[in-house]
Amino acid sequence: MAITDTPRLRTPLKTSIATVSISGEFPEKLAAIAKAGFSGVEIFENDFLTYDASPREVARMAADHGLAITLFQPFRDFEGMPEPHRSRAFERAERKFEVMGELGTDLMLICSNVSPVSLGGIDRAAADFHALGDLARRHGVRVGYEALAWGRHINDHRDAWEIVRRADHSHIGIILDSFHTLSRKIDPNSIRAIPGDKIFIVQLADAPLFDMDLLYWSRHFRNMPGEGDLPVIDFMRAVAATGYTGPLSLEIFNDQFRGGSAKAIAEDGHRSLVNLMDRVARLEPDIRIEAPAMPDRVVARGIEFVEFTTSTEEKPVLEALLGTLGFARTGRHRNRDVDLFTQGDIRIVLNTDTDGETFAGASYSVHGTNAYAFGLKVDDAQNALVRATALDAAAFSEPRKPGETAVPAIRGVGHGVVYLLDDSEDLAGIWQREFLPVDPTVAGQSALLQHVDHIAQTTQYEEMLTWMLFYSSIFAIRRAPMVDVVDPGGLVRSQALESEGEGRFRVTMNGADNRKTFAGKFLAEGFGTSIQHIAFATDDIFATAVRLAANGFQALPISRNYYDDLEARFGLEPDFSDALRAASILYDRDERGEYFQIYSRTFGEGFFFEIVERRGDYAGYGAMNAPFRIAAQRRLARPAGMPRR
Ligand SMILES: O=C(O)c1ccc(O)c(O)c1
Ligand SMILES: [Mg+2]
């Protein structure tokens, strides 16, 4: 196995997550957290109070799962209180220290006071913490102070640190939380001034950038590092520079996560932490960082093939569609009911080898005909597999017959498989070795299609972040801005991911929030199958359109209104817009270039092909055309003569 990066010797990453981040009751939360690979858990007091078990029982449950309780939190409204509130705050704290003793954790979080009766003053707060430090020492516990971004007097970790510094007590330290620092745009480099041993724990969260009330933003929209827009990597680099080596604890307040799958959210969390620390370790080579050794993020060079599973009955329909698109059947698998169709650099595999125990067969029986697998070209497939599995992706393999190559593969998102291919003889040669050439059976002529421009995967809206994190942690991928596509049945959110640098892999993810949308219907009727369309690139859309027409290809018809509007919007020459209309070509333009699109009619439960031409540096996907495409697809989907409902 060739790991090209020098492996670094590292101690295990101490990963932790707050119970508040995960849905379910205590037993379900703890099981999911442990299963995902965390070594610790923060007990969020409310989760504990609402669960009917003693602190000792909770301690045992955590221990049974092999989880350390890294933190008990939050304790509110402590510092700077006038009497009699001050005395009561100390009494309350002492009660909680006793609970902590039974829970078996030695660290409590106190978040900065939000009470209107609290008094300001750094020295007053420092004196309170010094006194609390003595009490904590007697109970064998420590207290960390966290600046809430909306704290009444303290809302900045620099001020919290000044209080902790002046408290000058071995049992009092600071707690850093990336959300509170980054949401206020506080320079994380100010953390570098804090001694690592005075940072008692580090909480991590990301969030999408919204212009919103801080408290509301924090309590509802946090997400996993790498899922949002905050510079969590910069934050962690600064933390690493202090010499901090304690747990990294996710604290994600998110309504969607709390209502989601405990297992999926815990897995995303673990993946996000491992990915984050891998990124930080590469950026800070001189700091000893506890991150698992793995190859760097993988450049995805492009899609080498897309494989459909289908039945012998449905295959001819797909084959005919491919024929009109200008594909020729050029290969037949030596051992299996598998045909290869090619055009330009594009390979489409039709797999009807569906009896027996194959994944293709299982996929067909659940989802029907679908594009269940694709092959990604990378520089080193084995390396890519090592990285993917280090990030908790599941390796995929099937029994091979004699003479067949075991292609490295992982289970993808959406019930699919991602094969990893490179230029090694073993992998690059599979087409020649495993497929017998056949006399090309061509329905028509080549339509000048060159490569796969992108694939589009449809998912539930709730799963979009999971999928995004899957791709962007394993591969060197960047996110395009999210766009909303209006469908008459609801909203579809669309997020494109594309290779950084010279890679040519593009995937768009479309999150349907209900099953009335065209995307939602596809998802429901295919029982969660995901690849809804495949876009091929041409560099002469008009020549392609002529060839397609000669092949009997039926484009998705687009309304005349669209072209009238297009002409007005872009000031198009009538000849040009007539040419677009005659071939049902959709058009978009921005400062960077132009984009042309032709859609096929749909196949099965809403699958379709697209043909695109990019001119100049156009980098989008024609989002503004999507409603017209959806309207046209819906029109065709309605049985003839059915009134509009
Ligand atoms: O939203 C809050 O109140 C809250 C409580 C404890 C924390 O650690 C935090 O980051 C936020
Ligand atoms: Mg916090």
Q: Which domain holds residue 403?
A: 302-442
% of the chain with per-residue pLDDT over 90: 85
- 425 & 469 share domain: no
CA 111–ligand 1 middle distance (angstroms): 7
CATH of the domain at 210: 3.20.20.150
- pLDDT at residue 3 tops 50: no
Domain count across the chain: 3
Q: Reply yes or no on whether the pLDDT at 7 is more than 70.
A: no
pLDDT tens per residue, range 370-414: 999 999 999 999 999 999 999 999 999 999 999 899 999 999 988
Same domain, 437 and 473: no
The CATH code of the domain that includes 412 is: 3.10.180.10
In this structure, is residue 619 part of a structural domain?
yes
- Whether residue 370 is found in the same domain as residue 234: no
Q: Are residues 212 and 337 in the same domain?
A: no
pLDDT band at 51 (very low <50, low <70, confident <90, very high): very high
Whether residues 421 and 513 fall in one domain: no
pTM over the 0.90 mark: yes
C-alpha of residue 193 to centroid of ligand 2, in Å? 20
Instruction: Check whether residue 470 and residue 492 sit in a common domain.
Output: yes
Establish if 14 belongs to a structural domain. no
Task: Say if 527 falls within a structural domain.
Answer: yes
CA-175 nearest atom, ligand 1: 8
Residue pLDDT, tens place only, 165-209: 999 999 999 999 999 999 999 999 999 999 999 999 999 999 999
Question: For a substitution probing ligand 1, which of 218, 220, 223 has the most ligand atoms within 8 Å of its CB?
Answer: 218
**Higher confidence at residue 403 or residue 584?**
584
Does residue 382 fall inside a structural domain?
yes
Taking the CA of residue 18 as reference, the ligand 1 atom at the shortest distance is 8
Residue 528 per-residue DSSP state: T
Only one residue has tokens 């791709």, namely: 471
Q: Show the tokens assigned to 206.
A: 């990301």
Q: Name the token pair of 195.
A: 């001694």
pLDDT single digits (tens) 257-269? 999 999 999 999 9
pLDDT-derived band at 597, boundaries 50, 70, 90: very high
Higher pLDDT, 3 or 169: 169
d(CA 332, CA 319): 14
3-state secondary structure of 357: coil
Out of 119-123, 195-199, 376-380, 478-482, which region has the weakest mean confidence (pLDDT)?
Answer: 478-482
Residue type for position 380: D
Verify that 250 and 332 share a domain, yes or no. no
pLDDT attached to residue 12: 61
Helix (H, G, I), strand (E, B) or coil at 612: strand
* Atom of ligand 1 at shortest range from CA of 74: 6
Q: Which of 21, 251, 252, 255 to mutate to test the pocket of ligand 1 (most atoms within 8 A of CB)?
A: 251
**Residues within a 6 A CB radius of ligand 1:** 73-74, 109, 111, 146, 148, 177, 203, 218-219, 251
As a residue count, the chain comes to 645
Name the residue with the closest Cα to ligand 1, atom 5. 74
ipTM: 0.99
Domain co-membership, 570 together with 601: yes
Q: Are residues 588 and 632 in the same domain?
A: yes
> Does the pLDDT of residue 24 top 60, yes or no?
yes
- Which of these three, 424, 442, 460, is where a domain ends? 442
Question: Are residues 274 and 316 both part of a single domain?
Answer: no
With CA atoms as reference, report the closest residue to 533 among 581, 440, 597, 465.
Answer: 597
pLDDT digits (tens, 9 = 90+) for 283-292: 999 998 888 8
User: Phi-psi category of 414—alpha, beta or left, where left has phi over 0 and alpha has psi -120 to 50?
Assistant: left
Q: Which ligand is nearest to the CA of 76?
A: 1
Residue 614 belongs to some domain of the structure: yes
- Residue 454 annotated as binding site: yes
Predicted local confidence at residue 645, as pLDDT? 35
Of 538 and 358, the structure prediction assigns the larger pLDDT to: 538
Last residue of a domain, one of 415, 442, 469: 442
Q: What's the mean pLDDT in 587-612?
A: 95
Q: How remote is the CA of residue 251 from the centroid of ligand 2, in Å?
A: 6
Q: Where are the beta strands (DSSP E) in 344-434?
A: 346-351, 370-377, 409-411, 417-421
533-571 pLDDT, tens digit per residue, is 999 999 999 999 999 999 999 999 999 999 999 999 999
Q: Is 463 annotated as a binding residue?
A: no
The last residue of one of the domains, among 230, 253, 283, is 283
Residue 316 contacts by C-beta under 8 Å, 6 or more apart in sequence? none
Same domain, 476 and 612: yes
Q: Are residues 481 and 419 part of one domain?
A: no
218 CA: nearest ligand 1 atom:
1
Mean model confidence pLDDT for the chain: 93
Q: Per the domain annotation, does 556 fall within a domain? A: yes
In a domain? residue 606: yes
Q: Tell me which amino acid residue 464 is.
A: M
Please check whether residue 22 lies inside any domain of the structure. no
